[in-house]
Amino acid sequence: MSEFLVFDGVTKRFGDFVAVRDASFAIEKGEIFALLGPSGCGKTTLLRMLAGFIEPDEGRILIEGEDITRLPPERRPVNTVFQSYALFPHLTIRDNIGFGLKMAKRPKAEIDAEVDRMLDLVDLAEHGDKKPDRISGGQKQRVAIARALVNKPRVLLLDEPLAALDLKLRQRLLVELDGIHDEVGITFLYVTHDQTEAMAISDRIAVMQRGGLEQIGTPAEIYEAPVNSFVAAFIGDTNFLRGKVSEILDAEYSRATVESIGEIRLYNDRPLEMGEDIALSLRPEKIRIETHPPAEEAGLNAIEGTVDDVIYLGSLTRYWVRVGDQRIAIEKQHARYQLDERLPAWKDRVWLSWRADDGCLLTDFAVEDTELLSLPPEGDE
C-alpha cells in the first residue's frame, strides 16, 4: 500500500486560534478514513483544506504524489458531500447529479447515461425530475452522494453526512454508504463527531482534539488501546484508575497503588519506574461483577464495593459501584436468559474483578477528560 493521500505538516490558524496544528498523516487508497473529534477540533478545517476552500498556512497536501495544496477547488480530483447537502434548489435531481459532468463539458448522452446509473445506485430513479424541496432528508442525502460520486473523484469527502438525519435513518444510511463504498471502491474521507458512526464505517480513524491529531488506528485499536485519557473517554466509556507504581514484577507486569482501591496488578507495554505516576483506562465491559468473591486466579484483580446505581438496558445492565471515593462503571452483558438469574441490585455488596491484561496504560492523563465520561443519573441516593 502506497501513500495515496498525504497531509504533510498542515497547519491552519484563524487569527490567534490554531484550527489545525502540524497535521501529518497518510490515507491509503480505497479505505474509509474517519476524522473524529468534538466540534471545533479542526476536522472540518482539514476537510475544507483538502477540498480547496481553505488554504493551509503551512504544509502540503498530496494526492498520489501530486501537490494540490494551492489548486482551486474546481481543479481538485475530490468531491464533497456537504453537511447541509447544498443541493441546488433551482435544479432537478437529475440536473443536480449531472452538474459536475456538465462543468466538465461531457457530451449530453454520456451525462444522461451516467446520471441514470447514479440514480439507480442510490435508488432514486423515479425521483429524477423532482426539485430538491420535494424529497425527504434521507433522499437529499443520497442525491448529495450521487452528485459527488458521479464525477469519479479520487477521494470522496463526507462532512458530517448523516448529522441532519434522525437516528433510525442514520443507521440505515450508514449501511447504505458502506455498500456504496464497496461498490465504487473510492477512497472516503469521513468527518464526524459521532464515534459510533466512525467506528461503524471506518477502516481507520484519526481522533482529533484542539487542532491536533491524538491517535490514528483501526476502530479496535482506538477503542482497546487508546493512547491518552481524551481518546479513551471520547471513544466509548471507560474508568480511569490513577496511582503510583509500587512494584515491578517483570518486564511486562507491575503493581500499582490506586487511590481508594488499593493495590492492583497491571500490564505495561512500556517500561515503568518505581514510584512513577500512572493512569489506566479500564473499559466497563472488561470488569466482572459478582455477588460473591471471585475464585483465585493468577493475574486477576478483585475489589469489593457497593452498588450505587443500576440501569437495565435489555441486552446489558450498567452498574456504578462505589469503591471508597471512586465510582466504577461496569457493563454486564446478558448472554443468558436473564430472568432466571439474580442480578446484583442497589446497595448490594459486590466483587469486581478484571484481568491485568484488560486495562490499558495511558501515556497522558488530563483531569478534564473525566468530564467526557457518562455519569449515572443524579439524585437517587
Interface residues toward another protein, by CB under 8 A: 51-53, 72-74, 78-80, 82-90, 99-100, 103-104, 131, 133-134, 137, 140, 147-148, 151, 164
At closest approach, how far in Å is the CB of 234 from another protein? 23
* Closest by CA position to 220, among listed 168, 314, 299, 283: 283
At closest approach, how far in Å is the CB of 45 from another protein? 14
CA distances from 117 to 141, 183, 307, 345 (A): 17, 12, 58, 57
At closest approach, how far in Å is the CB of 359 from another protein? 41
Quote the cell numbers at residue 222. 482506538
Of 54 and 222, nearer to another protein (C-beta) is 54
Of 163 and 372, nearer to another protein (C-beta) is 163
Quote the cell numbers at residue 2. 502506497
At closest approach, how far in Å is the CB of 35 from another protein? 18
Of 103 and 311, nearer to another protein (C-beta) is 103
Of 80 and 195, nearer to another protein (C-beta) is 80
Of 79 and 229, nearer to another protein (C-beta) is 79
Q: How far apart are CA 220 and CA 218, in angstroms?
A: 5
Q: In sequence order, what are the residues at sequence separation of 6 or more whose Cβ sits closer than 8 angstroms to the Cβ of residue 207?
A: 36, 37, 213, 214, 215, 216, 222, 230, 231, 234, 235
Of 33 and 99, nearer to another protein (C-beta) is 99
At closest approach, how far in Å is the CB of 192 from another protein? 15
At closest approach, how far in Å is the CB of 254 from another protein? 50
Q: Is 320 left (phi over 0), alpha (psi -120 to 50) or beta?
A: beta
Instruction: Find where cell 514484577 sits.
Output: 249
Q: In sequence order, what are the residues at sequence separation of 6 or more whose Cβ sits closer than 8 angstroms to the Cβ of residue 71?
A: 52
Of 155 and 278, nearer to another protein (C-beta) is 155
Q: How far apart are CA 309 and CA 319, in angstroms?
A: 6
At closest approach, how far in Å is the CB of 44 from another protein? 11
Q: How far apart are CA 285 and CA 104, in angstroms?
A: 53
How remote is the C-alpha of 156 from its chain's centroid? 18
Q: Where are the beta strands (DSSP E) in 150-276?
A: 155-159, 187-192, 204-209, 212-217, 239-248, 253-258, 262-267
